[in-house]
Structure 1
Amino acid sequence: MDWKRFLEPNKKKILISILLFIGTIVLSFLVPYALSLLINHILINPGKLEMASGLIILFYPLLISFPVYVALTMSILRLKVLLNTPLYLVLPILVMAINFALVAYPVACYMSENKRWAKGIVIYLIAFTIVSSGMGLAIYAYNETYGNSCDSDSDCGLVCHTSSAFSYRSISYSGRDCVQPAVCKKNRCTYSTLGDVKSVGDCERLWPGDPDTCYRDLAIKLDNLSLCDKLTSELYPKSECYSQVYTSLAYKLKDVNMCYKITEIGFKGDCYIGVAKRTKNSSICELYKATVDYCYEEVALELNDSNLCDKIENKGYKVQCYTNLARKLKNVSVCDKISDTNSRYNCIRYLRVER
């Protein structure tokens, strides 16, 4: 066969190849989209659109192709100029070029030279399927092997709606929906959490959309009151931040004096209770009358001491203290300390059910 003559372009060959390619685009994208809209209309449920589209596309997986070898070359060589343009914007152009060169034009030449239109269309579909599926599998293999790799945090990004991380080295089928970066851990991109934050710079870099949450958690982690001064949102008052830092210090140092400095009522009670439990010292409960009964219950459960329940003045809390301690110790004799008959019966019943 004279390959030079066979592949020599002319208007007829180019026209046939264009028609073939346009037909493929219609089959690959427009028809599935139209069918998905139709199914969605039948289901009368907007939430089903994505699922319907996915089901339709299952019938066309081999018709959707992407130029993996070009993308791989770009990724490996790290051509900065080309990579400044998002790959998902370049993909359609590359898809057209590669499929036109590898499939549409050669088949158009065959059809033009041999006048076998039906056979040519069959050959085209088979060839297009092979090329497309090959590129799709190659992209999948690449993403599975290298698509989440990284050397530094700058290699990683975050997908907001799924709270997942990706590597800029991966080959994406669509645009990223978030510019907030993730972190690189053990050479793999990972969704960043507040646990990854170690400095103010990390808050500004990893949590630009919600720095106040980061500053508050970092202040507690580092026991640094000055970080509370950075808060600007009304959702996180500075007084709450100070209270949380003092509470954290009180727990770590087992120092009840830190609780005196807390201005927020809710945090103040928690502070005294927490220190009382950590020091196993029930006398601390008397220092803050607002939570004294609940404090005695918590320390009683911590020390397994039913005598502390005796000190509770509120009848409801006292019954709760005896009942919870009896259930914890699995000891029905603790229930006998409850004076109210019905409450004592309920306490005993709880133990029988849980045995």
Structure 2
Amino acid sequence: MVVRAALLPVTLLLCLALAGSAGAGRTADGFYELKNKKGDFSIKVTNWGATLVSVLVPDCKGDLTDVVLGYDTVAAYAKGAAAGSTIGRVANRIANARFVLDGRTYRLLRNDGNNTIHGGPRGFNKVIWTVKEYVHDGDSPYITFYYRSFDGEQGFPGYLDVYVTYQLSDPYDLSIHMNATATSKATPVNLVNHAYWNLAGHGSGDVLEHELQMFASRYTPVDGYMIPTGQVAPVAGTKYDFLTPTPVGANMEIVPGGGGGYDINFAVDGQQNAMRPVARVQDPDSGRALELWANQPGVQLYTANWLSNDKGKGGKVYGQYGALCLETQAYPDAVNHPDFPSSTVRPGEVYKHDMVFKFSH
């Protein structure tokens, strides 16, 4: 009998993750570290969910700060939000937890009312990935994780071989490369990295004063269940207009306890499948800036609307609007919208999702 890793109890999965391959390369806290030669730029990751745990970059004074929200242990990631994790097989929402592909109806596991979100109750962020390669220092340190998603996992069809590589390069660039190959059946694929960014430092307060510019002149409106209506509308004249640098909180609805903020997909300008600028964020106090490039048609802006006194790394407490997510992606529910750019990957095809986070100060 074959035991599916994704079906094992979480406690056993955690033990397997901590005892996994390439253990000699781990730091004392059980994570893997990549560091540049200069020593002023480093990240930590874990094979639990192929997750980005920390990003240390300097500010305008040269002081190093961790700018992503997260947790101190692998066990905490199993219980907390999917901060920094790789989300799949299909990130974001699928309406009514179903879709039709090549004449066949597939029914998924529901975990967002009647809908499926982020791949289902146990998506790719809640499984163990294999460490395939690990070079922790040098000119371009990197680590590659691998996961084989089985036919029928969370209701999705076909086997899917998935690779995620984190890599550092000079001066302060973090690249994430995601590849997936369907080996048996056509399937929707939409992998994202779910990092929560705060350029002033994790746990430093809200990001409402961060200045945001989006290279996206359109967005995909949603209904009351956060499902796209099928429209692709201009941002001009709406609260979604970030075509020029604008404080995140300048025009957004702020609702204590959740319900306000941003959680919407933007249609990125430019040629699809080509690397192009997606967004730029700057913290006015520290001077840190982040420029995001990617090759996906959309990007989800989420302002941590539902964070509420979450206990994070180093005793920090994460409150509402304490970060923002910029998740490059296919359009949400694309498998149910023929007019959207296709998210279907057929046997033998390779899904490629590349993103680069360029830090400066």
Given the two structures, how large is their TM-score scaled by the length of structure 1? 0.21
Higher relative contact order (CA closer than 8 Å, sequence separation 6+): 2
Which structure shows the higher helix fraction?
1
Which structure shows the higher strand fraction?
2
Given the two structures, how large is their TM-score scaled by the length of structure 2? 0.20
Larger radius of gyration: 1
